[in-house]
Homo-oligomer: A and B are copies of this chain.
Amino acid sequence: MNSKKINIAGAGLVGSLLSIYLKQKGHEVHVYEHRPDMRKTSLDGGRSINLALSDRGWKALEGVGLSEEVRKIAIPMYRRVMHAKDGSLSFQSYGKEKQAIYSVSRGGLNARLMQLAEERGVHLHFDEKCLSAELEKGTATFKHKLSGEAHEVTGDLLIGADGAFSALRQQMQKTDRFSYSQQYIEHGYKELNIPPGKDGQHQMEKEALHIWPRGSYMLIALPNPDGSFTCTLFFPFEGENSFGTLQTPAQARSFFETEFGDALALMPDFDEEWTANPTSSLVIIRCYPWHRGKTALIGDASHAIVPFYGQGMNSGFEDCTVFNQLMEEHGDNWPEILNSFERNRKPDADAIADLAMRNFVEMRDLTGQKAFLLQKKIEAKFSDKHPDKWVPLYSMVTFSHTRYSEALRIGKKQDAIMKEIMALPEIEKIWDSEEVEALMLSRL
């Protein structure tokens, strides 16, 4: 295997992790990041963003020996806790006993990945903004933000891990036959905080993901290790109930009193936060191909998705796993590695983009409905009894390494079967019967 010089644009989660995988294969790896070194400055401007790490992400961390360490700082979330308007709670387990998704701090995880990359010999360069690139040659020009000097970076391969607004992808977009789309959904989001209680403990069930499902919008909350929760309101920009109509903190407070009373009661700084925290938009990015000559895209740069399946980071990390497998398979044949990567991975990227939008409807609307919770119970029971015949869609996406595209295909088949089951007369009484089980078996 020939050692190559590989340059990566972006030291985010995916760029940092990929750099370690490439270094492990014996390459000289440089990472150019436009922001300052987050380990020396405040994390993400002080915003406490957390992510839900699940099996695909864990596998990728395992490949660089980092999973055990990260598990210690991650909070398992075993179930969804749904908050009704009257404050009453209902519950839905994510998987079988002990299966959980894990709340981790984006900043903390990113810093740890950078640290490991440097320990293993990856060269990190900060404050380096990508100005332009020659895609066919894999050459890029970066400008150092402090010195103001521009310099050309050459190598055998240039990888854009520079996120949803990738500078390298913007270059590719100008090349012939490069298909591209950026689709903003009608909802945006605003983060709010539930601080720890007086005893420093979490004020709601800690090891859970909290949802206030309200049909066309929702509030969610994920636990942080310091006893706080980060809440996120997903809400339309325009229309009757929207960011557009909640202009003042007073209007927002009044709305929260009606809709999210139990959450509001735990938010002492609601008014300040409503005004100070930004209202951010949500975009889905699709493109193809994922490489031109000696320049390739990975992670959000090639497939940014909405956050509702908690699979943004996990799919980017799985990109690294797949890329690593292809390096093992094709050795020095880099054109084949890049061709195979985009060809194999594109259908999965498209599938998780669709699944993530589907899960938004499930979270904000279906989880508030009794029939849906019953359906999940029927599926869980059937899956327990026939684990070889039925893995619920959520479990395939979250707790397995089944290709996303395959999970979506099977999920659609399951949908059709469950639609038939849920239409049975008095299903709420007979759901546990042999008759239902036999019918499901017959449809598989």
Which A residues fall within an 8 A CB radius of B?
Answer: 173, 176-184, 237, 281, 286
Contacts and interface: CB of A to CB of B under 8 A. Distances in A.
Nearest to A286: B181
Contacts of A184: 176-179
A265 to B, nearest CB: 32
A173 B178 CA distance: 16
B183 A182 contact: no
A103 to B, nearest CB: 28
Nearest to A279: B176
A164 to B, nearest CB: 12
A71 B26 CA distance: 70
Given A179-B182, A181-B181, 7 more contacts: A176-B184, A176-B281, A177-B237, A178-B184, A180-B181, A180-B182, A181-B183
Nearest first, the 7 closest Cβ-Cβ pairs linking A and B are: A181-B181, A177-B184, A177-B281, A179-B184, A179-B183, A180-B182, A176-B281
Contacts of A179: 181-184
A281 to B, nearest CB: 5
A173 B25 CA distance: 38
19 contacts: A173-B182, A176-B184, A176-B281, A177-B184, A177-B237, A177-B281, A178-B182, A178-B184, A179-B181, A179-B182, A179-B183, A179-B184, A180-B180, A180-B181, A180-B182, A181-B181, A181-B182, A181-B183, A181-B286
Contacts of A180: 180-182
A184 B180 CA distance: 9
A172 to B, nearest CB: 11
A286 B183 CA distance: 10
A178 B184 CA distance: 7
Contacts of A178: 182, 184
Contacts of A237: 177
Contacts of A181: 179-183, 286
Nearest to A182: B180
A177 B173 CA distance: 18
Nearest to A183: B179
A158 to B, nearest CB: 23
A309 to B, nearest CB: 21
A55 to B, nearest CB: 32
A180 B183 CA distance: 6
Nearest to A177: B184
Contacts of A183: 179, 181
Contacts of A176: 184, 281
A176 B82 CA distance: 32
A193 B263 CA distance: 72
Contacts of A182: 173, 178-181
A166 to B, nearest CB: 13
Nearest to A284: B179
A282 to B, nearest CB: 9
A371 to B, nearest CB: 31
A173 B184 CA distance: 11
A178 B281 CA distance: 10
A183 B237 CA distance: 27
A279 to B, nearest CB: 10
Nearest to A180: B182
